[in-house]
Structures are given as structure tokens and as C-alpha cells.
Amino acid sequence: MTALENKKIEAPVKFSPEAQQKFEKILTQYDSKRSSLLPVLHLAQDEFGYCSDAVVEYVSQIMELSPAQVMEVVSFYTMYHRKPTGQNHFAFCMTLSCWMGGTHQLYKNFCARFGIKPGEVTPDGKFSVGKMECLGSCGTAPMLSVNETYYESMTPEKLNRLIESCRKGEPEVP
């Protein structure tokens, strides 16, 4: 497919009034407009769910940058998702102390159970999975993060309980 045929036309997006206010406040905190790109992308991702093409286009307009400059940043940092994630995004830490504590096994079991890989979402939209590098919680290894909340000192049993609670829509308190 040529680039033109492959391009899905997405509806343009716009900040809600609350988000717009937050955006304007962020701009005042820096001495250059471009410096606020990372916080603005966090805001956009919280607002729109993930950094789709339409979001990248919108952010490039309000930040007065080219889409390529915004996309460079989005593709570089792991926290900006280019594809939608599930309602509960399970991100397993795969480095050193956590890996020694057994997260690799937890991750593999999770993937096998739901039949998904990083970048995919379960059909009911509830779960997606990701591999992360060191999350800064090595003393409580093994650990993982669900929607940016840390769940530390995990065991297979604790993980199963957590999954069940997420499935019911009321995730466990870490």
C-alpha cells in the first residue's frame, strides 16, 4: 500500500475547556514554548487516551511544531502510547532485580493467559500488556505497574487476585 492509501483519516481532536486551561498554565512555567512539549503530551494522552495521529496533529498545531518533531518525541519515550491500551495496562518490569525475582515468568503467564503481546488489547478491551525497564522499585521486586500504579512484591497469587479485581472493574489497592 502506498503511504496515501494506508493513511486512515481520523477525526480531529480538541482540548476540553479544563484541559485547555491546564495547557495554558503549563506554557507559563517554561521559558521556551517547546519545553512544555512533554507535559502537554502527558495532558493530551490523559485527555484522549493515547497519542493517535489526530492527537499528534493537534499537539503539533497548538505547539507550533511540525508533526515530525512531535512524533519524534512520542516515539522516543515509552510512556506515550501510539496504539490504544486496554482499560488495565499491565506493565511488567523486566530488569535485573525484578527479573531475578521472577517477573519474566509472571509476564509470560499473563501473555499466555490472555493471548496478547505488547501492543495488543484483549477483545473485551479490559487488558493489555507491556514490557518495561527498571521502574525504580528493585527493593520490592518483583513488581509491575498497572495504569501507572505500582504493585510491589508480587507473587503469582497476588497477581491473580489483582487480575480478578481489575476484571470486575474495581482494582485492588496496592
Q: Which of residues 139-168 bind another protein (CB under 8 A)?
A: 139-141, 145-150, 152-153, 166
Residue owning grid cell 490523559: 46
The three-state secondary structure class of 123 is: coil
Closest separation in Å from C-beta 20 to another protein: 18
**Of the candidate residues 38, 62, 118, 120, the single one contacting another protein (CB under 8 A):** 38
Q: Is 90 in the site for another protein (CB under 8 A)?
A: no
Q: Tell me which residues in 53-82 interact with another protein (CB under 8 A).
A: 53, 56, 65-69, 71-73, 75-80
Q: Is 122 in the site for another protein (CB under 8 A)?
A: no
Nearest to 48 by CA among 73, 72, 83: 83
Q: Is 6 in the site for another protein (CB under 8 A)?
A: yes
CA torsion, points 18, 24, 29, 31, in degrees to nearest 10?
Answer: 160
The three-state secondary structure class of 88 is: strand
**Of the candidate residues 14, 125, 155, 161, the single one contacting another protein (CB under 8 A):** 125
Helix boundaries (H) for the chain: 3-6, 17-28, 37-48, 53-62, 67-76, 96-101, 103-114, 156-167
**Of the candidate residues 19, 27, 62, 84, the single one contacting another protein (CB under 8 A):** 84
Cell of 77: 519515550
Interface stretch with another protein, choices 14-22, 28-36, 110-118 (CB under 8 A)? 28-36
Q: Is 23 in the site for another protein (CB under 8 A)?
A: no
Closest separation in Å from C-beta 128 to another protein: 9
The C-alpha atoms of residue 68 and residue 59 are separated, in whole angstroms, by: 11
Kindly tell me the sign of the dihedral angle through the C-alpha atoms of 156, 158, 162, 165.
positive
Q: Is 174 in the site for another protein (CB under 8 A)?
A: yes
- For residues 51 and 82, the answer to whether their CB atoms sit within 8 Å is yes
Interface stretch with another protein, choices 15-23, 109-117, 136-144 (CB under 8 A)? 136-144
Query: By rule CB under 8 A, what count of residues binds another protein?
Result: 79
